[in-house]
Copies of this chain bind each other. A is one copy, B any other.
Amino acid sequence: MVLDPPVARPLVGRLAVIGIGLIGSSILHAVRTRRLAGSTVATDAAPEVLARAKELGLADEIAPDVAAAVKDADLVILCVPVGAIGEVAAVIAPHLKPGATVSDVGSVKGAVLAALKAHLPEGVHIVPAHPVAGTEYSGPDAGFATLFKNRWSILTPPEDADPEAVRMVSDLWAAMGANVEVMAADHHDLVLAITSHVPHLIAYNIVGTAADLETVTQSEVIKYSAGGFRDFTRIAASDPTMWRDIFLNNREAVIEVLGRFTEDLIALQRAIRWNEGDTLFELFTRTRAIRRSIIELGQETAAPDFGREHD
């Protein structure tokens, strides 16, 4: 379901952002550029990130801790690694305003929904979200206001979610430039396993395999990486903590999709061994069409080499 674009601003009274990394800082940029919240407050567990967020002036107020940050907030967005959601929810629970809405940006939704439900009190609305957007960079300096433009943000509210809270979160993402979809948490986790989690895992894996080969030096891997390898290193440079948590919290779907991937790969390997050129040609032709569709939908550039410079 695609929701209508929002009409009134500001959409949120006081917005608290917990965790000032790539996504948290991008939300702050997008919200403040477009005046989507009455006021903004942000905090982070790392003192150096707090200091840097102050220097950059990322929010109206930089709070020293999560308890202070969520006090009086109408909407709290947790932008922390998925594995830290439960712990943060437990700490903020007693400090939340009655009627406040708690959301997040985690790449896994089943585990997040369960953790929020377990820790947040009655009367606080839960509307988990996942903006499918990012770059390979992390930290408070990495964010920018247009990160979510023409990307999808997936909401996975519980079945008994408050419709007004869902509407507020949805409107906020739409106003930040995203297309909003609502789906069940378990379906989200399966969709993301194939579109994001397993791709990251195999990218990390091929980079690791290359580094560990005894017969090819690391310097050769680096020099000749323009043959294809370098494309994989981008997502294999993503934040290690975030990705560790994603795999451990979406174990079932990741292992299911990985099983399919490996089965297909072994079939391809067999086709190579037995000289079955037609099998290879048929697959290699089919995959071109999928890229064309992604470009047509505006999710990818048509420029050669992603538009990398050639001069």
Which A positions have Cβ atoms within 8 angstroms of B?
107, 132-137, 142, 144, 146-147, 149, 151-152, 154, 181, 190-192, 194-213, 215-216, 218, 220-238, 240-241, 243-245, 247-248, 251, 254-255, 257-258, 260-262, 264-266, 268-269, 272-273, 275, 277, 280-281, 283-288, 290-294, 297, 299-301, 304-311
- Cβ contact within 8 Å between B262 and A265: yes
In the A-B complex, the 4 residue pairs with the closest CB atoms: A196-B227, A135-B304, A240-B284, A306-B306
Q: Determine chain A's interface SS by DSSP, over half rule.
A: helix
**Contact call A229/B307, Cβ cutoff below 8 A:** no
Task: List chain B residues, Cβ under 8 A from A280.
Answer: 240, 243-244, 247-248
A36 to B286, CA, bound (A): 39
Asked whether A286 and B209 contact (CB < 8 A) given A151-B226, A230-B300, A294-B222, the answer is: no
What number of copies of this chain does the assembly contain?
A: 2
Are A264 and B195 within 8 A (Cβ)?
Answer: no
Contact between B227 and A209, CB atoms less than 8 A apart: no
Residues of B with C-beta under 8 A to A210:
194-195, 290
Complex alpha-carbon distance, A292 and B211, angstroms: 13
- Looking at the assembled complex, report how far the CB atom of A217 sits from the nearest CB atom of chain B, in whole angstroms: 9
A246 vs B202: C-alpha distance in the bound complex, in angstroms?
22
User: A212, A213, A231 — which one has the most chain B CB atoms within 10 A of its CB?
Assistant: A231
A269: chain B residues within 8 A (beta carbon): 255, 258
Given A194-B213, A293-B222, answer yes or no on A287-B231 (Cβ-Cβ < 8 Å).
no
Tell me the minimal C-beta distance from A148 to chain B in angstroms.
9
Q: Are A136 and B286 in contact (CB under 8 A)?
A: no
Q: A265 with B272: in contact, given A196-B229, A210-B195 (CB under 8 Å)?
A: no
A-B contacts, 21 listed (Cβ < 8 Å): A146-B310, A194-B209, A195-B210, A199-B206, A203-B287, A204-B268, A207-B291, A209-B257, A211-B287, A222-B290, A226-B299, A230-B294, A230-B299, A233-B291, A233-B294, A234-B306, A236-B291, A241-B281, A244-B281, A255-B272, A307-B307
Of all chain B residues, the one with the shortest Cβ separation from A232 is B199
How far, in whole Å, are A146 and B308 apart by their CA atoms in the complex?
12
